A and B are shown apart, each in its own frame.
Chain A
């Protein structure tokens, strides 16, 4: 069965620091990759997604992620975080090619200190 690992449970950063959240998945075939974000008190919402093409994908609010197939990774990055980025971030995968359910990582809580 496929699985998704997020390396950090809780990350604490000061404003303007750079962010990288790790995500690795275990699945040998074609995958679709997602990062979702859950701000305090709000719904899960899509941050960015990768289906095919350029492995460097850009999402909302200045976030980007790079798909490295050889490393089974899809790390999320942001060059300079803001206090408003405080949220929980979830990496998710589905195998594509007719698959539908998402397998999520356990999430990384990001706290940004003003």
Chain B
């Protein structure tokens, strides 16, 4: 079956511009996660959605970052007024249950802020 998909695969933007990154989770998965993979930093948790519950935003690094999940499916991560330190690979994952099920990762969006 189809896995997690993300778009765009690559994004180059200028400092100060806003960007939107999209994630399509595996059909039927109720939980969706965003992570960021920076050089030398490993993967950092950003935000988590579970069904219609309020998202856990505890990992978002600043108020320039926000995310939405529409209809319990597709999610969009928005970064406003991008900075060079936002350059990273942004990974989306989904899982069929909130806790112990394995997270299935998408290919990521590579963001470069010039």
- Chain A residues closer than 8 Å to B59, beta-carbon distance: 101
Distance in angstroms from B87 CB to nearest chain A CB is 17
Please state if B103 and A102 are interface contacts (CB–CB under 8 Å). yes
Residues of chain A with a CB closer than 8 A to B99's CB: 94, 96-100
In the bound complex, CA of A44 to CA of B107 (Å): 8
Residue A83, interface by CB 8 Å:
no
Residue B3 is within 8 A (CB to CB) of chain A in the complex: yes
CB of A81 to closest CB in B, whole Å: 23
A105–B40 alpha-carbon span in the complex (Å): 10
Q: Is A51 in contact with chain B by the CB < 8 A criterion?
A: yes
- A100 contact set on B, CB distance < 8 A: 31, 33, 48, 50, 56, 98-99
Number of B residues whose C-beta is below 8 Å from A?
A: 25
Summed over the interface, the residue pairs from A and B with CB atoms below 8 Å come to a total of 53
Closest to B45 in A: A101
A51 and B98 alpha carbons, distance in the complex (Å): 14
* B106 close to A (CB within 8 Å): yes
A43 CA / B26 CA spacing, docked (Å): 14
Q: Nearest Cβ in chain B — how far from A19, in angstroms?
A: 20
Contact of A45 with B42 in the complex, beta carbons under 8 Å = no
B65 within 8 A of A: no
Measured in the bound complex, the distance between the Cα atoms of B33 and A49 in whole Å is 19
Q: Indicate if the CB atoms of B102 and A46 lie closer than 8 Å.
A: yes
A77 CB, min distance to chain B CBs, angstroms = 21
| Interface residues in A82-103 (C-beta closer than 8 Å to B) | 90, 92, 94, 96-103
Q: Contact at B43–A104, with CB atoms within 8 Å?
A: yes
| Chain A residue at minimum C-beta to C-beta distance from B41 | A106
Question: Which residues of chain A are near B108, meaning CB under 8 Å?
Answer: 43
Distance between Cα atoms of A32 and B100 in the complex (Å)? 8
Q: Which of B4, B31, B42, B107 contacts A104 (CB 8 A)?
A: B42
Which residues of A does B touch, CB under 8 Å?
Answer: 32, 34, 36, 42-46, 49, 51, 90, 92, 94, 96-107
